[in-house]
Amino acid sequence: MAINYATVTWDQLHRDARTLAAALMPRGPFKGIVAVTRGGLIPAAIIARELDCRLVESISVISYAGESNDEQSEPVIVKPAVAADDGEGFLIVDDLVDSGETAKVVREALPKAHFACLYAKPAGRAHTDQYVMEVSQDTWVLFPWDTAPLFVPPLARKAP
């Protein structure tokens, strides 16, 4: 299967997090937010600000083996969201739901929480309650923390 890449800039991430926060407003107020680490940390911070929510907890899940993050393994919670108990009144925030395997584990740990993410792929879409945008299953989303701006010489300076 061919892989497509979608680059999300800081500006786009911020806009999408605010869009998600606006859509979540009618469901609140929330007791707190649980960020799925690591990808959910920054969206959770933006959403916490927009919803004026001061309690931000995290749940740490490891679901990729290897340095390249290309081999998915069975997800394991390495740090539970203790403050959230069973999740009642809490909002779970992640950046992306891909296969849904991580989301399943998080939902089992926090069955009464509302799960929201910025982006959802078809295979994982059913495991989230709310998302901003769907991306195709063969798209690898490059988040701003995964990339670095590099100098690109003007076209006129490139050798023919």
Task: For residue range 27-51, list pLDDT tens digits in order.
Answer: 989 999 999 999 999 999 999 999 9
Residue 98: active-site member: yes
Determine if residue 145 is labeled as part of a ligand binding site.
no
Report d(CA 90, CA 123) in Å as an integer: 24
Global model pTM greater than 0.95: no
Report d(CA 124, CA 96) in Å as an integer: 9
Cα angle at 45 between 42 and 51, to 5 degrees?
140
> Catalytic one among 11, 94, 129, 138?
94
Q: Which residue has the tokens 């009642």?
A: 88
**pLDDT tens digits along 73-85:** 789 999 999 999 9
CATH topology of domain 4-157: Rossmann fold (3.40.50)
> Catalytic one among 70, 98, 138, 146?
98
Determine if residue 49 is labeled as part of a ligand binding site.
no
Determine if residue 105 is labeled as part of a ligand binding site.
no
Residue 70: active-site member: no
Determine if residue 141 is labeled as part of a ligand binding site.
yes
Q: Residue 148 pLDDT more than 60?
A: yes
Determine if residue 125 is labeled as part of a ligand binding site.
no
> Catalytic one among 11, 52, 95, 146?
95
Most confident of 5-19, 62-76, 143-157: 5-19
